[in-house]
Structure 1
Amino acid sequence: MSKTAENRPANTEKSHSANLDTANEDESASESSDTIALPAHVAGSGTLDQLIDTARDYAKAATAKNTNKAYAADWKHFVRWCRMKGTEPLPPSPEMIGLYLTDLAAPAGPSPALSVSTIDRRLSGLAWNYAQRGFDLDRTDRHISSVLAGIKRKHARPPVQKAAILPEDILAMVATLPYDLRGLRDRAILLLGFAGGLRRSEIVSLDAGKGDTPDSGGWVDILNDGAVLTLNAKTGWREVEIGRGSSDKTCPIHALEQWLHFAKIDFGPIFVRTSRDGKKALEARLSDKHVARLIKTTVLKSGIRAELPEKDRLALFSGHSLRAGLASSAEVDERYVQKQLGHASAEMTRRYQRRRDRFRVNLTKAAGL
């Protein structure tokens, strides 16, 4: 190796890497971890190249797939904005990022203003992308923190919550499904998602057994009294216990067993696509978007909130409606609901409870008034 290469300043390499990243802004955020490489003074080898590939896989797995997609979109939007303003995204400029946040909250053009939560997420996406490129973004810099605080003070609104799917709703929804193979699958998805308070990504990531597939997000153990779901969720590994229902018609475990039996699934992804005629289970795992579409479709067919226009009914419900439904319907100690949903705090669980006795504990009377 020449002296020139040995004595090359570190910031020169960073600048070169930054230029490459800027040129490839259309690549996904997870692919920015491809910058993981050997130090310049180390000679490559087959063994080290294998380790680099493995390290890149770990780097991609550090954040959820949907988070990676969102951060990639955030970076792409910011790069385009910078070029339209005649500036460059690298290195990070707190002044320019402050102006970017301002334009998101109060755009001068035809673009709609973004919500405070979306702006906050965009900033997190930029910080993550800068970190992948070897830069630190100081979010406490006054050009960023002061602008963001002002945006929150002026534009913050209470979070818009999706409607909860209540027990009578879920029964009406599953009643719209046929008893063909596809209907058995979708019935299991709705009942299991509701009884487990599961995220849509947790539902479709389940495998029949431990370690069946590389992209598994957990597995199911079916027992006499119910099923235990071991999930690798965004908050870490947790177990979800789902007991059997009072009848086969409403039992999530019976619905799951029916699907597994007729689909002939004993290995790999549990919830998979079916053939066009709905008579054969395929190998491809379902997308989590299927759960959202399934909920909206069955809500419309079942006549839930029929007094509202169709557009409003569709906007009311999403994948989170299943989690909110369990939290709002289970009349047990709040701690059990918190555990089932995998929440770190009781306050987060209460956000999911659309109906509850808010004054069950009356501190006014307890204080003697």
Structure 2
Amino acid sequence: MDDNLPAHLEAAERPLLPAEFDDHLRARLAALDAASDEHARDLRPDNTVRSYASDWKTWTTFCEQLQIPVTAATRGTLRAFVDYLWTREGRAYTTIDRKLAGVSVTLRRDYGVVLNKEDTKSARELLKDYRRRAAEAEEPARGRGKAPAMRVGALREIVAKCSDDVFGLRDRAMLLLGFSIAARRAELAGLRLRNIVEDPDGNGLLVHVMVSKTDPRTVPVPFGQDPATCPVRAWQAWAEEAQIADPDRHAFRAIHASGAVQPKGITPQRVGDIITAAGARARIPALFTGHSVRSGMATEARRAGKDRKAIAQVTGHKPNSKVLDGYMQIVDRWDGDDNALIGIGL
């Protein structure tokens, strides 16, 4: 009898241990693993899948140049990968960090190779050293940097410049609803009609964000105080004009140049392009991106004194999220409780 099992379990009664599985059972379990992996891939957002594919392509190119197999992800090769991306390709810090994560996921998922945590840690430490040295040398920042937050004042100017035709109704609804649910590009593109329902008591909308990098969330969106910036009224106007009826169709659709609303939805990239173009049309100096409505909502809510837990419920962040901290710091750095220079007598 196995010493690790309770004494009352005789050999005939106890469950089989993994080492005792026969070939038939191992094959069944392997098939279940494969089916589970395929199901998980089917549920993964398209933009995440594309990112992983791009990261893996970069890794395979690197491995070909070093003439090593793609599974040779050791401490040395991971550090060399960081050096390759930083020195030879001039990639941004965040891009390299993401590619390390993408390579790790693909190796684990497709090859059963689990990277040593200390090895990946050493690669990221090297990346931090490169960033520190670049800052000390006053090198220009790499990449686009963080998306500028679309504050309420800018949002008001932008939606005022949206036309009253079908294009303007869609763009206005997308901007205001995207701001209200702190949406990522893919989240707006992924919304179906069934995900946006009117509150039974007439308080506004219940928006079920199902396509997300994190867990799905439901955001209660109330009527706005100003009809011009009310997300509920903007959505209702667009839905009526677009004649959206099928609950499984996309909430935001492509529009033909003639003004005819198409049955197909729009891509996350197109969502970002619409937001950027709307900002440019209103002549806002900041170059807004698809992420700007998300960061704008978190920034404005914090400035209005909303609790970070309430903000996290809208954004989908964990209350202790470091990313959410970044939004909070935009406001908190001028708060008397968080700025050590305020109120000390200067």
For normalisation by structure 1, the TM-score amounts to 0.72
Partner of 1:14: none
CA distance in 2, matches of 1:189, 1:241: 16
Matches within 5 A, 1:211-360: 219-223=195-199, 224-232=202-210, 233-266=212-245, 267-268=247-248, 269-278=250-259, 280-305=260-285, 313-314=286-287, 317-330=288-301, 331-335=304-308, 336-346=310-320, 347-353=322-328, 354-356=330-332, 358-360=334-336
The one-letter amino acid of 1:349's match is: L
CA distance in 1, matches of 2:206, 2:218: 7
Contact 1:91/1:135 (8 A) holds in 2: no
User: How far has the Cα of 1:179 moved from its partner?
Assistant: 1.4
Partner of 1:173: 158
Pick aligned residue for 2:118 from 140, 143, 153 = 140
Partner of 1:69: 50
CA distance in 1, matches of 2:117, 2:51: 19
User: How far has the Cα of 1:139 moved from its partner?
Assistant: 3.6
User: How far has the Cα of 1:124 moved from its partner?
Assistant: 1.2
Alignment gaps of 5+ in structure 1: 1-38, 210-218, 306-312
CA distance in 2, matches of 1:363, 1:148: 30
Contact 2:75/2:122 (8 A) holds in 1: no
1:150 and 2:130 are equivalent in the alignment? no
Contact 1:102/1:147 (8 A) holds in 2: no
1:98 and 2:86 are equivalent in the alignment? no
Q: Can you list the C-alpha shifts for 1:85-143, whole angstroms capped at 9, x where unaligned? A: 33322344443232222222222xxx3x22332222111111111112122222413xx
SS in 2 for 1:249: helix
Contact 2:104/2:115 (8 A) holds in 1: yes
The one-letter amino acid of 1:251's match is: C
Q: Pick closer, same or farther for the CA change 1:361–1:138 going to 2, 3 Å.
A: same
Contact 2:181/2:219 (8 A) holds in 1: yes
SS in 2 for 1:140: helix
Deviates more, 1:93-102 or 1:192-201: 93-102
Contact 2:79/2:126 (8 A) holds in 1: no
Q: Pick closer, same or farther for the CA change 1:364–1:288 going to 2, 3 Å.
A: closer
User: How far has the Cα of 1:188 moved from its partner?
Assistant: 0.3
User: How far has the Cα of 1:164 moved from its partner?
Assistant: 1.3
CA distance in 2, matches of 1:235, 1:202: 10
Contact 1:220/1:227 (8 A) holds in 2: yes
CA distance in 2, matches of 1:150, 1:92: 16
1:194 and 2:179 are equivalent in the alignment? yes
CA distance in 2, matches of 1:130, 1:53: 15
Q: Can you list the C-alpha shifts for 1:234-255, whole angstroms capped at 9, x where unaligned? A: 2212211111012332211111
Alignment gaps of 5+ in structure 2: 1-21, 136-140
Q: Aligned Cα RMSD in Å?
A: 3.2
CA distance in 1, matches of 2:52, 2:163: 39
Q: Identity of aligned pairs, percent? A: 24
CA distance in 2, matches of 1:135, 1:76: 17
Q: Can you list the C-alpha shifts for 1:230-275, whole angstroms capped at 9, x where unaligned? A: 2223221221111101233221111101111111112221111122
Matches within 5 A, 1:26-37: none
